[in-house]
């Protein structure tokens, strides 16, 4: 969701820096890389590992509070979002959000961006036991839509999400945002496009 549908990863970075400045913490690129596209539980473990003298729950709650404030009135869309969502709707395909974010954050972003009407199902990482790269959130989304995961497209911008899509058996498409594809990703059965418009064109022409 963040970084794929919505141009919000930069807002997350701002929120993280607010929290870090308040508590006198130094955030490294490694910290950001291991935290993007993960569930709250994974973030808690990361926070405990990187900042063992701090209460990770307090830090995470402050992150979500800052993020909610930053997205309260505006959630910018990524290039091609409305075009590809409209294309899928016009062709009778079911659509689900399957995000690691809390359900409240997903609902806020869909409502503020006025994209809620496109989605048949909303699935949060809070609803499954294991976070991405486990395929559980995608398998649950497919089940709720009443389709086989092997018949689904998964669109992802993050490394963990790409692994989850492949692990679920879905046709997995990466639209890189803050994280570029690793060599491991390049060696996997993953289709990589610069934006959603390019991916839409590949679907329309039968490449995907």
Domain spans, the chain: 8-71, 81-205
pLDDT attached to residue 120: 98
- CB atoms inside a 10 Å sphere around CB 189: 8
Cβ–Cβ < 8 Å for 120, 96? yes
State the virtual CA torsion across 133, 135, 136, 142 in degrees, nearest 10. Answer: 140
- Cα 113 to Cα 102: distance, rounded to the nearest angstrom: 17
3-state secondary structure of 171: strand
Helices assigned H by DSSP within the chain: 9-23, 29-35, 40-50, 56-70, 81-90, 103-113, 136-145, 159-167, 183-186, 196-204
3-state secondary structure of 62: helix
Answer yes or no: CATH 3.40.50.1000 is held by domain 81-205: yes
Q: pTM of the full predicted structure?
A: 0.86
Query: How far from the centroid of its chain's Cα atoms is residue 51's Cα?
Result: 24
Q: Which residues of the chain are under the pLDDT cut of 50?
A: none
Sort 138 into a burial class: Cβ within 10 Å, 0-12 / 13-18 / 19+: buried
3-state secondary structure of 182: coil
Residue 11 phi/psi, 5-degree rounding, is -65, -35
Sort 116 into a burial class: Cβ within 10 Å, 0-12 / 13-18 / 19+: middle
pLDDT digits (tens, 9 = 90+) for 12-26: 889 999 999 999 999
The length of the chain is: 208
Please give the structure tokens belonging to residue 192: 């990589």
């Amino acid at each position: 969701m963040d970084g794929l549908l919505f141009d919000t990863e930069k807002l997350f970075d701002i929120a993280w820096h607010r929290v870090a400045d308040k508590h006198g913490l130094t955030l490294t690129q490694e910290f950001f890389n291991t935290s993007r596209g993960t569930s709250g539980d994974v973030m808690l473990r990361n926070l405990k590992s990187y900042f063992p003298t701090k209460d990770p729950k307090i830090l995470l709650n402050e992150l979500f509070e800052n993020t909610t404030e930053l997205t309260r009135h505006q959630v910018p869309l990524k290039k091609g979002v409305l075009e590809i969502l409209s294309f899928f709707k016009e062709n009778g395909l079911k659509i689900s959000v399957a995000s690691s974010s809390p359900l409240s954050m997903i609902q806020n972003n869909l409502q503020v961006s006025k994209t809620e009407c496109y989605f048949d199902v909303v699935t949060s990482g809070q609803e499954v036991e294991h976070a991405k790269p486990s395929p559980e959130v995608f398998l649950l989304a497919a089940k709720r839509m009443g389709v086989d995961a092997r018949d689904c497209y998964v669109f992802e911008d993050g490394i963990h999400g790409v692994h989850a899509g492949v692990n679920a058996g879905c046709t997995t498409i990466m639209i890189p945002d803050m994280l570029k594809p690793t060599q491991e990703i390049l060696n996997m059965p993953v289709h990589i496009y610069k934006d959603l418009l390019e991916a839409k064109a590949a679907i329309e022409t039968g490449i995907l």
